[in-house]
Amino acid sequence: MRKRKRDGWYVLLMLFAMVGICWILQMKEVERQELSIQGGSAVLPENLVHLGNHSYRRVVTNGHIAAGELDGDMVVVREEEDISDPAQPGNVPVPEPVPEPGPGTSEVADPGDIPEPQVVVTIGTTDMAYFDDALFIGDSRTVGIAEYGYLENADYFADVSMTVFKLFTAKLSVDGGEKVSLETALTQKQYGKVYVMVGINELGHNREQAVAKFGELISLIETTQPGATIYICANLHVTESRSKTDAIINNDNINSYNKALSAFADGENKFYIDVNPVFDDMSGSLSEDYASDSAHMEAQHYDMWCDWLMEQAVVKTYQ
């Protein structure tokens, strides 16, 4: 009986001894790992890289970013989670570092990202004030507008029998003052609009030379009046009877010459306008109802021409 009791105590002591030894070994292993982490040489499991000291440490496992819970100084990775799914709880993305602007700096948009303002051109009706800064250049038809029309607030450089060639040598009084050349007149005052109508008296000249000279005239205006809108005005038709009997001054030649002049318009600063539909008859000729002779208007009808000019105002807006 006593021997059985001794054997029982012996077994119990052995069990306690084995438990104690296991506990001591476990504590030693924990101590070793803690010392290794503190010394910066922790040996992490395969495919596990420590990325920082946070309450939730970022680690890489199997090529993905996952979250590790902090247990003391040990990283415990929840490997059971599907870290390939960013919607899973515990997945922490790695944000790209964003540099903060320094003192006195501000974010400036790339100039290439800023669209240039678009110019919108509209043609409509205006009032008399539109012609306060207008200059009309032309021949006897323009003289008729100056003398019989009502646009008295505009300036005029015009004379009977004027041609594009004479415009470079003629001297005229623009506003009732001293006679000056066209180039001088253009440099003495800045105009917002310049109207040009010459051509009928050039029909007997070499066409190519006349058109080239007209191009020089437009260039002179653009150089001296860089901000002006240039109106290239079609030459007025002659009557049907004149057109049928004159080998030079006829409507076929006028239309051909007008077409050549219209090519100088660009729809931005230079515009071609044609008054002929206002005064033409059914044949496309100057109506006898308006003509004083075969090539000019009766004085009382120049107001109609001015009315039409008031309806051809070019207005530019920027969007």
Read off the amino acid at residue 161: S
Name the token pair of 152. Answer: 């008295």
Number of H helices, E strands in the chain: 8, 13
pLDDT of 65: 35
pLDDT of 64: 35
- Quick: pLDDT tens for 84-120: 444 455 555 555 665 665 565 555 556 667 777 787 8
- The DSSP call for residue 291 is B
In angstroms, the CA 167 to CA 250 distance is: 23
pLDDT of 24: 76
Nearest alpha carbon to residue 181 among 224, 214, 210: 224
> Coil, helix or strand for 6?
helix
- Quick: pLDDT tens for 52-77: 333 333 333 333 333 444 444 444 44
Which parts of the chain register pLDDT below 50? 35-87
Q: Tell me, which fold does domain 119-318 have in CATH? A: Rossmann fold (3.40.50)
User: Would you tell me how many other CB atoms lie within 10 Å of the CB of residue 218?
Assistant: 17
The sign of the dihedral angle between the CA atoms of 212, 215, 216, 217 is: positive
In angstroms, the CA 257 to CA 260 distance is: 5
Q: Where are the domains of the chain?
A: 41-87, 119-318
pTM of the model: 0.65
